[in-house]
A and B are shown apart, each in its own frame.
Chain A
Amino acid sequence: MRSTAIDRRGLFGSLLAGLVLPPVFAKADTHSTRLYLSARRTGEGAFRVSAFTPQGVSHLDVPLPGRGHSFALRPDGAMAVHFARRPGRFAKVLDLRDRRALREISTPAGRHFYGHGVFAAEGGLLYATENDYEAERGVVGVYDASAGYQRLGELSSHGIGPHDMRLLSDGVTLAVANGGIATRPDLPRLKLNLPTMAPSLVYLDRRDGRLLEEVRLAPEFHQLSIRHLAIGRGDQVAIAMQYEGPFSDTVPLVALHRRGSKPLLLDAPKAVLRRMRQYCGSAAFDRSGRVLAISAPRGNRLVFWDAEEGRFLSSVELADGCGIAPTEVPGQFLASSGMGGVVAVDAASGTQQRLGSDFLDASQWDNHLLATDI
């Protein structure tokens, strides 16, 4: 990967000209190692969670009791928690330096994970989106990472079906995507309230659960499930959505939001929007926090925007491409396929380069790919 020569001049050179990277995105300590994390299904149909190097070498590979989804990354990069996919109840605490699973966490009775979470308070607390399915309300479970991941309590997510969740740079504001879809673990993959769903993006104070701001799209978009988030420069929140209405509708699938302002629906050529097949799988900003990548696995597409200008950049084809994460190169991403294989993609030129590795090729990569430096 690092040795791969990718031409970043041209369109991209001008896009990033004069752009000064804020310290948070500054290159990690030279001794650090870049890792990519994702859940996968093996050729034998077993579910595992894995970490691999930019060269495609397996760094950690742990069996899972069921299908996994996404991760909470501890800021120092040493630990990650991998969550079960909805309606799973397990989470694995992974020691990325020791390359092993330390323990398994379970949700209490009456709750299951939605698959996403974040660390806060210097890694001392873990927050996870969960379903209180009897009451049909979303909650955020709070776990004490410094005391054996004991569950301290929960906050309301102020909506139904909370999915992705991110921590803003102030360290106290949680951005939560309430997908709006009611589900129950005894009807595992069925959506129960599509005619009346009402998704929202909410901002909470993680210390007391106070609702700081609630964002909803126009009523005609009430069937656009707000599912995944990515945080860009200056806490710009990218929202990746999934449309539950008629397939014949052409609706926006991606939006940007900043605290206190109205959401901006991102435009794309109609043909690109149609090809996304009304479904975004993952969202990620590049290393600079300016270029937004959205995967659309049903349409076998990856789509890129310049989030600063709200401008569509390009789209490329990747069969069942779903996981997407920034590389150390601005404007570049790694994307993983549910049919096996991982590619490096340049957002401006649309060129892609496959990472040659039997391990990567022989795995069906699940929904999310995350980058971390240990």
Chain B
Amino acid sequence: MRKPSTSSLRACLAAVPAVALWFGSAAADGLSEQDYAQVNSAIVAQHVLPRYEALAEAAKALDAATEAHCAQPDGDGLEELRTQYRTTMDAWMGIQHLQFGPIELFQRGYRLYFWPRGQGRIADAVEELLAARDDSRFADDAFRKASVATQGLPAMEQLLYSEARVFGVSGEAQWRCRLLTAISANVRDMTAEILADWQGGRVAFARSMAEPEPETGYFGSHKDGTLELFKSFYTGLQLIADARLSPVVGRTIEQARPRMAESRLSERSLRNIVLSLEALQALYLGENDGQGLGTLVVQSGSDEKLDPLMRRAFEKTLETARAIAPPLAEAVTDPARRAQVETLRTQATAMKQIVETRMATALGLGVGFNALDGD
């Protein structure tokens, strides 16, 4: 909880019987601002920045591969381009869970990855743009202000993996290359800007996280920084359970909906799940010898069983996910593989619930269920 702002308020709160007696506040009084600050700084240095660096690097290579392929569409550049697309998606899955900071600015998150609204919308928007054959719509400024559905990685998947993937210098194929190039330049620029905004410049987001400003800053305290990391961690699990799995799996095999699978065209739905789980595991455990959110769970000591439980849950869930033979869209309707997918959904949902009900409390973040999931 934040400190009351005035002395009169403090006096009046003192009259209220100890807040710590309230429900769910088995409180992590053991954690200090110093503890939060240390973990935040380790996570930024060892998790956030390296992963955004990897993403920016992959996007740069993707842009180069696009240029190369579109310069010589009859060559064998398409396979190289697809490889770079997959590398970029891998990098994105490694940091997509981070929901705050420079990614929020200029709608970058949605422009990079407009999801989970369904590939149908992406396909329609791409079709519409290609059919218009209008040069002015590909100008940098126009393109970046136009529909988010055509600007990012899902639109690129549509171009690279749908039936009509012919690129060239004449006719229809010319416009597809035009769009491909516009997307790759856009993704390259946005990922470079996100990294730059974390590291320095006017935004200098890593610094604003390391030096909170109580009254008016993005972060009022180090605990606020941890809260944002926690929310990203929770949202990451929520996306796996509620967007990547539940709608695709359905209640029964008859109700399975393979078409809802993420990255269905490039057949990487399961890979996305594994990579995001691994990224969340790294956020929890820490990586490159740095601390993670789990460090605070242990330090607080208020829920001793939680850390072993989280570690085991990550291991088991990853084990399940890795054992399923892709693609997910087939596995959900295959009687032989479906049980494994159902287990994965159950495990992912359980993880989300454990985090929701126990981890915020253990971290002393005081996130009630209205704050975490209100309406």
The reply on B342 being an interface residue by CB < 8 A is no
Q: Which of B1-54 contact A (CB under 8 A)?
A: 1-2, 4-5, 8-9, 12-13, 15-17, 19, 21-25
The reply on B238 being an interface residue by CB < 8 A is yes
A contact residues around B216 at 8 Å (CB) = 250, 270-271, 274
The reply on A31 being an interface residue by CB < 8 A is no
* Stretch from B71-79, B155-163, B185-193, B361-369 forming part of the interface with A: B361-369
How far apart are the CA atoms of A361 and B22 in the complex, in Å?
6
**Which residue of B has the minimal Cβ distance to A338?**
B368
The reply on A187 being an interface residue by CB < 8 A is yes
Q: Indicate which residue in A45, A275, A364 contacts B368 across the interface (CB closer than 8 Å).
A: A364
Contact A271 B246 (CB under 8 A): no
Supposing A188-B242, A190-B242, A351-B12 touch, asked if A297 and B23 sit within 8 A by C-beta, the answer is: no
Contact B104 A247 (CB under 8 A): yes
Interface residues on A, range: 35 or more
Shortest Cβ gap from B131 to chain A (Å): 21
Contact B104 A364 (CB under 8 A): no
How far apart are the CA atoms of A356 and B16 in the complex, in Å?
10
Shortest Cβ gap from B272 to chain A (Å): 16
Contact A275 B369 (CB under 8 A): no
Supposing A190-B242, A246-B105 touch, asked if A367 and B116 sit within 8 A by C-beta, the answer is: no
Contact A195 B148 (CB under 8 A): yes
Supposing A195-B148, A271-B5, A317-B13 touch, asked if A339 and B242 sit within 8 A by C-beta, the answer is: no
Contact A339 B366 (CB under 8 A): yes
Contact A195 B371 (CB under 8 A): no
B contact residues around A354 at 8 Å (CB) = 16-17
B contact residues around A245 at 8 Å (CB) = 104
Contact B370 A338 (CB under 8 A): yes
**Which residue of A has the minimal Cβ distance to B148?**
A195
Over the window 237-267 of chain B, the binary record of Cβ atoms lying under 8 Å from chain A Cβ atoms (1 yes, 0 no) is 0110011001100000000010010000000
The reply on A248 being an interface residue by CB < 8 A is yes
Contact B242 A352 (CB under 8 A): no
How far apart are the CA atoms of A11 and B151 in the complex, in Å?
55
Supposing A86-B375, A193-B117, A281-B374 touch, asked if A338 and B100 sit within 8 A by C-beta, the answer is: no
Contact B371 A338 (CB under 8 A): yes
The reply on A300 being an interface residue by CB < 8 A is yes
The reply on B290 being an interface residue by CB < 8 A is no
Q: Which of B12, B16, B242, B370 has the most CB of A within 10 A?
A: B370
How far apart are the CA atoms of A353 and B17 in the complex, in Å?
9
**Which residue of A has the minimal Cβ distance to B366?**
A319
Supposing A189-B242, A339-B24, A340-B23 touch, asked if A41 and B215 sit within 8 A by C-beta, the answer is: no
The reply on A298 being an interface residue by CB < 8 A is yes
Shortest Cβ gap from A163 to chain B (Å): 8
The reply on B107 being an interface residue by CB < 8 A is yes
Over the window 220-250 of chain A, the binary record of Cβ atoms lying under 8 Å from chain B Cβ atoms (1 yes, 0 no) is 0000000100000000000000000111101
Shortest Cβ gap from A346 to chain B (Å): 10
The reply on A322 being an interface residue by CB < 8 A is yes
Q: Which of A69, A298, A338, A350 has the most CB of B within 10 A?
A: A338
How far apart are the CA atoms of A320 and B215 in the complex, in Å?
19
Contact A297 B371 (CB under 8 A): yes
Shortest Cβ gap from B237 to chain A (Å): 12
Over the window 180-219 of chain A, the binary record of Cβ atoms lying under 8 Å from chain B Cβ atoms (1 yes, 0 no) is 0000001111101111100000000000000000000000
The reply on A23 being an interface residue by CB < 8 A is no
Contact A339 B375 (CB under 8 A): no
Q: Which of A278-319 contact B (CB under 8 A)?
A: 279, 281, 297-300, 316-317, 319
Contact B22 A319 (CB under 8 A): yes
Interface size on B, residues (CB 8 A): 50
A contact residues around B1 at 8 Å (CB) = 300, 317, 319
The reply on A362 being an interface residue by CB < 8 A is yes
Shortest Cβ gap from A369 to chain B (Å): 11
How far apart are the CA atoms of A275 and B348 in the complex, in Å?
32
A contact residues around B24 at 8 Å (CB) = 339-340, 364
Q: Which of B293-319 contact A (CB under 8 A)?
A: none
Q: Which of B2, B13, B371 has the most CB of A within 10 A?
A: B371
Supposing A195-B148, A319-B366 touch, asked if A275 and B220 sit within 8 A by C-beta, the answer is: yes
How far apart are the CA atoms of A48 and B178 in the complex, in Å?
56
The reply on B373 being an interface residue by CB < 8 A is yes
**Which residue of A has the minimal Cβ distance to B369?**
A338
How far apart are the CA atoms of A195 and B144 in the complex, in Å?
12
B contact residues around A193 at 8 Å (CB) = 117
How far apart are the CA atoms of A194 and B366 in the complex, in Å?
27
The reply on B288 being an interface residue by CB < 8 A is no
The reply on B110 being an interface residue by CB < 8 A is yes
How far apart are the CA atoms of A374 and B105 in the complex, in Å?
50
Q: Indicate which residue in A86, A271, A317 contacts B9 across the interface (CB closer than 8 Å).
A: A317
Shortest Cβ gap from A21 to chain B (Å): 28
Contact B368 A339 (CB under 8 A): yes
A contact residues around B107 at 8 Å (CB) = 194-195
Q: Which of A41, A195, A281 has the most CB of B within 10 A?
A: A195
Over the window 218-242 of chain B, the binary record of Cβ atoms lying under 8 Å from chain A Cβ atoms (1 yes, 0 no) is 1010000000000000000011001
Contact B243 A187 (CB under 8 A): yes
B contact residues around A322 at 8 Å (CB) = 368, 370-371, 374
Contact B110 A195 (CB under 8 A): yes
A contact residues around B357 at 8 Å (CB) = 45
B contact residues around A43 at 8 Å (CB) = 23
Instruction: Provide 21 A-B residue pairs closer than 8 Å at the C-beta atoms, listed in order of the A residue.
Output: A189-B373, A195-B148, A227-B375, A247-B100, A248-B104, A297-B374, A300-B2, A319-B22, A320-B368, A320-B370, A322-B368, A337-B368, A338-B371, A339-B23, A341-B22, A350-B12, A352-B16, A353-B15, A361-B22, A364-B23, A366-B369
Residue numbers of A with Cβ under 8 A of B are 41, 43, 45, 69, 85-86, 115, 163, 186-190, 192-196, 227, 245-248, 250, 270-271, 274-275, 279, 281, 297-300, 316-317, 319-320, 322, 337-341, 343, 350-354, 356, 361-364, 366-367
